[in-house]
Amino acid sequence: MIQSKTILKSRFLQIFLFFLLFTGAIVVLLPLIIIFLTSLAKTNVTNSHIKFNNFTWNNYQEAWEQSKFIIAFANSTIISLAVTGLQILTSAFAGYALSKLKFSGKKVVLTIVITTLIIPFQILVIPIFIVLKWSSLINTYWALILPTAANGFGIFLMRQYFANIPVEIEEAAILDGANRWQLLVNIMLPLSRPGLITLFIFTFIAEWNDLFKPLVFTTRPELITTQLVLASFQEEFTSNWPLMMAAIVISTIPVIALFLYGQKYLIQGLSSTGIKG
C-alpha cells in the first residue's frame, strides 16, 4: 500500500514536471514562432495590420535581394571568427597562467580580470575610438576585431576550467620531460575542449549579434554586418513587418545552427567550471 502510494506520487510528480517544462518551452518558443509566422505573412507594405490570409516565401527572397546580406554575412563571419580565435588564444594563455603558474601579484591580476566583467563596453568606447583613430584603424576590419580580442569572461572561464584539471596530470607530463608549452598545447588544451567550445559559442554569438562596434567604428558600406542590415530594415521598411521578420530569421540561422551543434559541449563546459580557489 505504501509502495503504491509512493509510485503514484512519483508519477504525479513526473507529470507535473513535464507540464511545467512544456509550458516553459512554449513561453520561450512563442516569440520565435510569432516571428517565423509573421515572416511568411502576405501583406501590403503600407498596411499597418498583418493579415494571415495566406503564407508566402517571397518575403525571404525580397529581404535577401533588397539588402546586402551576402556582404553582411561574409563580414560578420570574418569578424566573429577572428575575434573568437583571438579570445580563445588570449583566454587560454591567461587562464592557464592564472590557474597553474605561481607569480607575485597573481590574485591582484585575477581581481582586475574579474572587475572588468562589470565594466560596460560603452564606457570604454571613447578612449578605444581615440586609439583606433591614432592608429588609422577606423573603417577597417581591425576596428571591429581588436577592441574585443581579449575578454575577462573568457579568461575567467578558462582559468576555472584549467583549475579543475588534476595537478597529477601535469606532474606526470613534467616527469616525462614536457615543458610548459608542450604541457599547455598537448595536454591542457585537449583536456579543456568543452571549455574552449563553450567559449567559442559564447564569443561567436556575441560578435555576430553585436551592433554597437559596427555602428561606431565603421561608416564604409563594404564593412556592413548583419546587425546593420537589420537596423537598415527597421529604418527603411518599418511598416513592412513580414519583410523585417524574414530578415531576422535569415540572420539568426547561423547562430541557431551553431548552438544546436555545440549544445552538449556548452552544457559540459559550464558544468565543469565551478569556482575553485
Q: What is the mean pLDDT of residues 208-218?
A: 92
Q: Does the pLDDT at position 108 exceed 80?
A: yes
Q: Does the pLDDT at position 220 exceed 80?
A: yes
Percent of the chain past pLDDT 70, that is, above it, reads 86
Please list, in sequence order, all residues whose beta carbon lies within 8 angstroms of the beta carbon of residue 23, skipping any fewer than 6 positions away: none
DSSP code at position 119: S
pLDDT the model gives residue 276: 42
Which CATH fold topology does 67-271 show?
MetI-like fold (1.10.3720)
pLDDT the model gives residue 214: 92
Q: What is the pTM of this model?
A: 0.82
What is the per-residue pLDDT across 121-148, written as a single tens digit (0 to 9) for each? 888 899 999 999 999 999 999 999 999 9
pLDDT the model gives residue 1: 55
Q: What is the mean pLDDT of residues 187-215?
A: 90
Give the lowest-confidence range in 39-48, 68-77, 227-236, 256-265: 39-48
Question: What are the two backbone dihedrals, phi and then psi, of residue 138, each rounded to the nearest 5 degrees?
Answer: -65, 140
Domains in the chain: boundaries: 67-271
What is the per-residue pLDDT across 235-275, written as a single tens digit (0 to 9) for each? 654 567 788 888 888 888 888 888 888 777 666 655 555 44
pLDDT the model gives residue 46: 46
Q: Terminal CA-to-CA distance of the chain, rounded, Å?
A: 50
C-alpha to C-alpha distances, 90 to 87, 95, 154, 205, 251, nearest whole angstrom: 5, 8, 8, 18, 28
Q: Does the pLDDT at position 5 exceed 70?
A: no
